[in-house]
Structure formats: C-alpha cells, structure tokens
Amino acid sequence: MAKAPTVYDVAERSGVSIATVSRVLRSPAAVREHTRERVLAAVTELGYVPSAAARGLAARRTNVIGLFFPGHDETVPDQPVDSARGDTVPIVDDDSDTASDTENLYFDEVLRGAEIEAWRRGFALMVAAGRGSSREALVTDIAGRVDGLAVLARTVPDELLAYVARRIPVVILAGAQRADDFDHVSASNGPGMRTLANYVLQDHGVHDVVYIAGPTDSPDDAERLTGFRNALADSGVAERNVRILRSDFTRDGGRATAARILAAERPRAILCSNDETALGVLDVLEQRGIRVPEDVLVTGFDGITAGRHSRPKLTTVHQPMVELGRAAVHAITARLDDPNLEPQAFTLPVEVVLRESCPRV
C-alpha cells in the first residue's frame, strides 16, 4: 500500500487548486468540462480515493447510518480461524439445529431493506451486534461514526439510547410504539392477529380456541394479544370461553405448552403468538398422531422461512421485514432533513398467509 494520494496530489498533477478538485468530486456542474476532465484523469492515474474521514470532518456528517441488532457471540467459538489441514473431510450425520435460522433470517431481511434504502439515499450502512459486555463502549463507538442509528428493539438499554439520541436520530425497530421521544418502526401486530383470529373464529367457525401468548416483556406480544382479544369481541366470543396461556416464543416452549394443552381437553384450534411456538406445537401434535388441520388448526405469527417448510406448512401473519429495514432508514433520513419533526411511528402493513395448518375455507 503506497501512501494514499490526496486532493493536493491530484491538484498538483492536474494543475488546478484543491478547491477545484473537491468541486469536481462534489459538484461537477460547477466546473468547466475541460477542467473536470483533466482532474478526473489525474484521479484515475493516481488511484485517488477520497478519505471519508476527512470529508466527514469537514462536512460535519458522515453519510453513514448504523444498524444495531441483537448479539449472538455465544454461538461462535473463540478459537482462531484455521485453514483446513490436509484434505480431510469428516462425514457426519444430520446436523439439524432448528434454533439458528429464525432470528437470523429476520435480521437478514431487515438488513437487506436497510441497505437498499440507505444506498438509495446516499448513505452507507454500518452494522453492529449488541453484546452483553461493554455494550456501552460499542454503542458510543458506533454513534460517533454515523449520522443516525436504527436499533432492533430491546437490543440496547434505554438510557444508553437516550444518551446517543442527544446527538443523532435514533429509531427503534420492530418493538412497541412506546411513548418516548424516539421514532418507531414496526408492523401492525394487533390488526394482523385480529384478522387471523377472526378468520379462525368466523370463517372456520371455530370457537374452541387456545391462544399461546409470548413473554410478558415483549411489546409485540402484547399487541398481538390485544388483537386476539379484539377478535373475540368482533366474533362475539366471551374471553372466559377460551384459554390463554403463556410461553416464551421458542420452539421448545411451544412443545411444552402444547403438552399442557393436550393434558386437558383438546381444542379445535391453537393460535400462537409467533411461528416458533407454532412449530413446537406442530411437533407435538404430529408426534401424538393428531392431524392438522383436520383435528386441530394451528397458526403462527412472523412469516419465518421455516414455516414454509414445516409439515404441514404453517399459516401465519407475515411481517414485511425488508420494508421494516427500509422504513427505519427512511425515518432516520427524514429526521436528518428536519430535526424538529415530532417523534414518529411508522406501522407497516402485514399479511395473513394461509397455508396447510389453517387453510382457506
């Protein structure tokens, strides 16, 4: 790596001042064509690459947006990376680990959306995982590098967000719409669940229903539960005639809860507040030879990929994850354009996706 050329080198080589070089790069229209060509030629010859640090310093903005997502360091070994030794290739049996492909996929799509939208608006995207230790250091480190920050809900403690939000716009992604000063982007959890539940209660005419809620600290879950209750009201079903249980959003939790449910009288439908729970329920039902959807209807929420491949395929409410990422970036840029905006809440539309576990009637 030779020492990187600077505007000064380019200016000297093309016989202009550094201001002109800068203008060629930032506002080409302000420079005569002849001059511009000479400068660009020098740029290419020297292999000039503008320093984003210097530009950021001078322009007082970095044109970078940060995206914070939940951490995962537990799962990766601390060992150094090694090359293969020799050509030995082990042969192992099925490695199915259903745990790993849920949140990942969710995040992957959010990232995709954020990246696309950021690029369209002329920003680069920086990513970081929220980690258990020294989270604070990470957050301020990232905060110093970006013009705005999107944070997956509950990845970062509130007081830390507040600290960062004193300097740059912060948007909270896919959590609750809380009454705080942050911008929020999320999906219509309540209406989604309400529509799906009404489909079961009315179109399928099934009133004998169990609802499996998620952890109490999840704001999404609270909204979904409310949606379910609204559906009960819509359909004229008294809440005391249905069971509402709590699980923990995991597949294992779904299995355990399904076992509890089946210990009593078997319901005609089990509505789950997320897909993983529903997959766990399906596991238990299949294992006991209970047919889905003939004996029991099952539904989830989220639209994770695994639900498309389950047996039977899972009916669910699909969240627009790519759009969530895009909306987050949109919210940040909107606030950068006008810092005095009132705190905003974007609620993105969802879709009920009917598959085998609760088919179209």
Q: In the range 38-97, which residues lie near DNA by CB under 7 A?
A: 48, 50-51, 54-55, 57-60
Q: Which is nearer to its own copies, 163 or 245 (CB)?
A: 163
The least distance separating DNA from the CB of residue 121, rounded to whole angstroms, comes to: 17
> What are residue 169's phi and psi, to 5 degrees?
-65, 140
> In the chain, what is the greatest distance between 2 CA atoms, to the nearest angstrom?
87
Per CB under 8 A, which of residues 117..176 are in contact with its own copies? Answer: 117, 119, 124-129, 131, 138, 140-145, 163-164, 166-169
The identity of residue 76, as a single letter, is V
Minimum CB distance to DNA smaller for 59 or for 99: 59
CB of 327 to its own copies, least distance (A): 4
Residue 151 touches which member of its own copies, DNA, none, C-beta under 5-8 Å by kind: none
Q: Classify 249 in phi/psi space as left (phi over 0), alpha (psi -120 to 50) or beta.
A: left
User: Binding-site residue total for DNA (CB under 7 A)?
Assistant: 28
Cα distances (Å, whole numbers) of residue 302 to 71, 115, 124, 126, 331: 20, 21, 28, 25, 22
Residue 327 in contact with its own copies, rule: CB under 8 A: yes
Residue 317 as a binder of its own copies (CB under 8 A): the answer is yes
Q: Enter the DSSP assignment of 98.
A: G
Q: How many alpha carbons lie under 13 Å from residue 1 in its C-beta half-sphere?
A: 3
Does 245 bind its own copies (CB under 8 A)? Our answer is no
Quote the tokens at residue 83. 């090359």
What's the CA gap between 331 and 138, in Å, rounded? 23
Whether the CB-CB separation of 263 and 288 falls below 8 Å is answered with no
261 vs 336 by CB, closer to its own copies: 336
To the nearest whole angstrom, how small is the minimum distance from the Cβ of residue 263 to its own copies?
29
Q: Is 96 in the site for its own copies (CB under 8 A)?
A: yes
76 contact, one of its own copies, DNA, none, CB 5-8 Å limit per kind: its own copies
Residues 10-39 that bind DNA (CB under 7 A): 15-20, 22-23, 25-26, 30-32, 34-35
Asked if 11 is part of the footprint of its own copies (rule: CB under 8 A), the reply reads no
**Of 8, 15, 51, 99, the one binding its own copies by CB under 8 A:** 51
**Binding track, positions 97-116, relative to DNA; x by CB under 7 A:** --------------------
Stretch that binds its own copies, among 8-16, 244-252, 260-268, 340-348 (CB under 8 A): 340-348
Q: Are 350 and 194 in contact (CB under 8 A)?
A: no
**Residue with smaller CB distance to DNA, 11 or 296:** 11
Residue 208 and residue 179: Cα distance in Å, rounded? 36
Q: How far is CA 359 from the centre of its chain?
A: 28
H/E element, 304: none
For residue 17, the partner it binds in DNA, its own copies, none, with Cβ less than 5 to 8 A by kind, is DNA
Q: 316 and 355 in contact (C-beta within 8 Å)?
A: yes
Selected binder of its own copies within 26, 288, 291, 308 (CB under 8 A): 308
The partner in contact with residue 19, picked from DNA, its own copies, none with C-beta cut-offs of 5 to 8 angstroms by kind, is: DNA
DSSP lists the bridge partners of residue 70 as: 130
Distance CA 347, CA 176 (A): 10
Measured between alpha carbons, how far apart are the two ends of the chain, in Å?
66
Asked whether position 52 contacts its own copies by CB under 8 A, the answer is yes
Residue 53: strand pairing partners:
none
Cβ atoms 173, 207 nearer than 8 A: no
Nearer of residues 215 and 343 to its own copies, judged by Cβ: 343
The continuous run of DSSP H or E covering 11 comes out as helix 7-14
Give residues in contact with DNA (CB under 7 A): 4, 6-8, 15-20, 22-23, 25-26, 30-32, 34-35, 48, 50-51, 54-55, 57-60
